Structure 1
């Protein structure tokens, strides 16, 4: 269960260290509030805790701004770009997933990567099952358009002002 939590945390935060901290905080919170869980569905409950903690951290990060220690070197700076087609395709898919809106990305990751049922994903995100199904459908369609190159690079929501 922990590897799935780590994958989901890394996909949400895009930082391995912060994701590991998030998983640790999630498990700590789950243990300290074990008596508050509802029923036997522990997995969706853990994903819900993790998701809510991640949302709080992302909001906090956006308020504070980006922070990087001087001596920290980002992963992959000195790595050579992969030459295999499969690795390039995987990078394209990951970049396309990052372009999805956060709500669609969360549903796509929970259902396809973490293999949660629609009901468990709905419980995790605290939305109706129908919302999960429509977000997943929109996410898959938009992902397909991005990978096909038919989706514009940036969708502008700017108004023309005279």
Structure 2
């Protein structure tokens, strides 16, 4: 099981980043997720990928609730990691990543989770439905709304998502 979890780490980290919007918070979320995965027995006949993503989501929800109780504000620093490019190309790429990241952060959490799991992680609608414990139709409608909102937000001359 440890080998399977190790192979999932890059995908889980991307998902954690999509939830938290912060590289530092994503790393903390990933660590807490792995700790929980390793400390609890794997459910019988559970797909390791779906189980790991569900645990990550549940850990994130727990952390959000704890922050709300403590009334701590969450910071959303700009994405600072990436490939090194030459001059203008690097600046243009960083600006586009920041635009997409900002647009994603303005989506409601349920839409952000769906678009991350489907578009970024490449999971099927059914897998996402299982991870989030919602019907497949709900996944499809939230994804459609999220894509529409991102499309509007990323249209030339648009700076924010209208909700």
TM-score, L = length of structure 2 = 0.76
Residue 66 of structure 1 is matched in structure 2 by 72
In the alignment, does 2:36 pair up with 1:29? yes
Structure 1 distance, partners of 2:79, 2:58, is: 29
In the alignment, does 2:51 pair up with 1:45? yes
Residue 132 of structure 1 is matched in structure 2 by 139
Check the 8 A contact 2:20/2:26 in 1, yes or no: yes
| RMSD (Å) for aligned C-alpha atoms | 2.7
1:1-162 matched pairs, under 5 angstroms: 1-35=8-42, 37-66=43-72, 83-84=88-89, 85-148=92-155, 153=160, 155=162
State the SS of the aligned residue for 1:116.
coil
Structure 1 distance, partners of 2:17, 2:66, is: 17
Structure 1 distance, partners of 2:150, 2:114, is: 13
Structure 1 distance, partners of 2:96, 2:161, is: 21
- The 1:47–1:154 alpha-carbon spacing in structure 2 relative to 1, beyond 3 Å, is closer
Check the 8 A contact 2:107/2:161 in 1, yes or no: no
Alpha-carbon distance, 1:115 to partner: 1.2
Gaps of 5+ in 1: 69-73, 157-162
Structure 1 distance, partners of 2:29, 2:120, is: 18
Between 57-66 and 138-147, report the one with greater CA deviation.
57-66
TM-score, L = length of structure 1 = 0.77
Residue 71 of structure 1 is matched in structure 2 by none
Alpha-carbon distance, 1:153 to partner: 4.0
Gaps of 5+ in 2: 1-7, 81-86
Alpha-carbon distance, 1:65 to partner: 2.5
Alpha-carbon distance, 1:138 to partner: 0.6
Structure number with bigger Rg: 1
Question: Greater helix percent: which structure?
Answer: 2
Alpha-carbon distance, 1:67 to partner: 6.5
